[in-house]
Amino acid sequence: MTTAPTASKSSAETPDDLAARAAELVRDAVLGDLARRVIADCGADVGLVGVPEPGVARAGGEGMVLRHWAGTRADLLHDLPVPAGTGLGGRALAERAPSWAPDYRADTTISHHYDAAVIAEDLYAMLTVPLLHDGAVHGVVYASLRAVVPFGDVRIAAVTRLAEAATRALAGAAAWRGAPVPAAAPPPATGAGGARRPPAVPLTRREHEVLRWAATGRTNPEIAAQLGLTCNTVTGYLKSAMHKLGVRNRTELAVTARESGLLD
């Protein structure tokens, strides 16, 4: 869903262009990882993330489009526009609060604009959590199951924690993109001859390569195909990079790598 940066563009881009493009890559990586992690960490069958976009809202309200997904079998939920107030995700967007239904199809408190897509995916239970920062919504994450399941406090809290971590990463990327470099900021540490000093725990060339591709939102199989490696080898490089940088998941890895200058 994202494309890697190309050398041909870089010469024509200004520093602001590069910062904006890198921030978008971080955003895509964070949201793509979020969709996958609600499956891996929270036991969902399908993970979706809606991203606010202009032109989707009705009557001057807000709206979003489902831009990231994991675990889907059909494509009816892909790139689906969701105005605020419609369906379960639209309600979370409008109310700025988590919303859930143990049986989406039978729930009488929500609109049923998307029943065809939900039925095509054989989904029943659904939980939606908005990604909130300073009153603004950066997106809405969906955790859906192919069974009628009451959502307990443990699962709701787990999805909420993932949403909060993703929101912090998105807010950091947005602030970094929009803020100029402070005039009083200290220069980067340098070694002899003015060369930039590497991180205290340097990554190997392969770890750095895999990290850069992961930060663009590529999956392990996609990275493996690009670099001519096995999936297990890619997983090993990512785990090693995470250990060296002291992070726990791909979201934190992308943000920490950017803050450390590893993606410059």
The fraction of the chain above a pLDDT of 90, given in percent, is 39
Which residues partner with 139 through β-bridges?
131
Q: Report the alpha-carbon distance of residue 215 to residue 260 in Å, rounded.
A: 13
Average pLDDT on 179-188 reads: 38
pLDDT value at 49 more than 90? yes
Give yes or no: residues 213 and 115 share one domain.
no
Q: Is 172's pLDDT higher than 50? A: yes
Does the residue 193 lie in any domain?
Answer: no
pLDDT attached to residue 145: 97
- pLDDT classification of 195: cutoffs 50, 70, 90: very low
Whether the CB-CB separation of 185 and 196 falls below 8 Å is answered with no
Tens-digit pLDDT profile for residues 213-252: 887 778 888 888 877 778 888 888 888 888 888 888 877 7
Please give the pLDDT value at position 57: 65
Q: Are residues 205 and 151 in the same domain?
A: no
Instruction: Name the domain boundary from 144, 178, 212.
Output: 178
The CATH number for 171's domain is 3.30.450.40
**Is there a single domain that holds both residue 162 and residue 205?**
no
- From CA 22, how far away is CA 173, in angstroms rounded? 9
Number of domains in the chain: 2
How far is it, in rounded angstroms, from Cα 8 to Cα 134? Answer: 37
Q: Residue 205 belongs to what domain range?
A: 201-259
Q: DSSP letter string over the chain?
A: ------HHHHTT--HHHHHHHHHHHHHHHHHHHHHHHHHHTT--SEEEEEEE-TT--STT--EEEEEEEES-SSSTTTT-EEETTSHHHHHHHHHTS-EEESSGGG-SSS--TTHHHHHHTT---EEEEEEEETTEEEEEEEEE-SS-----HHHHHHHHHHHHHHHHHHHHHHHHHHSPPPTTPPPPPB-GGGPBPPPSSPPPHHHHHHHHHHHTT--HHHHHHHHT--HHHHHHHHHHHHHHHT-SSHHHHHHHHHHTTTT-
Higher pLDDT: 18 or 123? It is 123
In this predicted model, what pLDDT tens digit does every residue of 97-133 receive, in sequence order?
999 999 999 999 899 999 999 999 999 999 999 999 8
| 48 in the same domain as 149 | yes
Angle at 162 between CA 156 and CA 164, to 5 degrees: 100
157 and 46 within one domain: yes
* Higher per-residue pLDDT: 226 or 85: 85
- Rounded to the nearest angstrom, the gap between the alpha carbon of residue 141 and the centroid of all alpha carbons in its chain is 9
Average pLDDT over residues 43-47: 96
pLDDT at residue 174, as a whole number: 67
Average pLDDT over residues 152-166: 90
Domain CATH for 227: 1.10.10.10
CA dihedral (140, 23, 69, 152) positive or negative? negative
More confident position, 3 or 129? 129
pLDDT band at 190 (very low <50, low <70, confident <90, very high): very low
pLDDT confidence of residue 182: 34
Instruction: Give me 73's structure tokens.
Output: 């079998």
Query: Which pLDDT value is given to residue 73?
Result: 95
- Between 202 and 158, residue with greater pLDDT: 158
Kindly state the average pLDDT of the residues 58-86: 89
The pair of structure tokens assigned to 225 is 């195909």
Percentage of the chain with pLDDT > 70?
A: 81
Q: Is residue 118 part of a domain?
A: yes
Amino acid at 257: A
Q: Look at the pTM and tell me if it is higher than 0.85.
A: no
Distance CA 177, CA 191 (A): 28
Contacts of 62 (CB under 8 A, 6+ apart): 52, 56, 83, 84, 93, 94, 137
Lowest-confidence segment of 15-29, 103-117, 178-192, 198-212 by average pLDDT: 178-192
Mean pLDDT over all residues of the chain? 80
Residue 10, pLDDT above cutoff 60: no
CA distance 7 to 196: 21
Residues 26 and 147 in one domain: yes
